Amino acid sequence: MFKVLIDFFVGTVLFIIFLILKVLGKRISSNLCATIFSTFGALTKFEHIAKKNILFVWPEKKDTEVKKITNKMWKNIGRNFGELIHLKNYKPLNCSQTKIIDLKKVEQLISLNNKKKRGIVFFFCSLWKLGVRAYYN
């Protein structure tokens, strides 16, 4: 019973947060969430894990460089969270920040997939894995 109440509370809080972000608009909500995540992300255990992983890969990195990397990481996660509510309006073909290298090949794959009912695997170099979903809308 207690878990149900906690889940309801968390769901209500997230609903209110997303509602506020929707009203603020994409740019403001993206910047606001980037600031919030970079401020409070450094206080979590994940900051320590990220620093440890960075130093494992690049042991020569200085503390200031590691801090810069983790700060950019938190900002990126915050921006993705802030822009998530605006994904419905995202049109990758009309967006100046989207770069599609071979659109004809993508359209061929989608057409082939619709005929044969097979899955398609896409690889992305960032967190914006949701662009393919927006392509179908």
Asked whether residue 38 falls in the same domain as residue 68, the answer is yes
Please give the mean pLDDT across all residues of the chain.
81
Q: Would you mind telling me the total number of residues written for the chain in this entry?
A: 137
- What's the pLDDT tens digit per position in 79-132? 988 988 887 776 666 666 666 677 787 778 778 777 777 666 665 555 544 444
Q: Tell me phi and psi for residue 18, to 5 degrees.
A: -65, -35
pLDDT at 134: 43
Long-range contacts of 98-106 (CB under 8 A, 24+ apart): 98/131, 106/135
Q: Say how far apart CA 76 and CA 30 lie, in whole Å.
A: 9
pTM score:
0.64
Asked whether residue 129 falls in the same domain as residue 95, the answer is yes
pLDDT at 114: 75
pLDDT at 130: 47
Asked whether residue 57 falls in the same domain as residue 72, the answer is yes
Q: Which of 89, 105, 129 is the last residue in one of the domains? A: 89
Closest C-alpha to 103, from 69, 64, 61, 131: 131
Output the CA angle 44-45-50, nearest 5 degrees: 105
Domain extent at residue 112: 91-137
Asked whether residue 115 falls in the same domain as residue 58, the answer is no
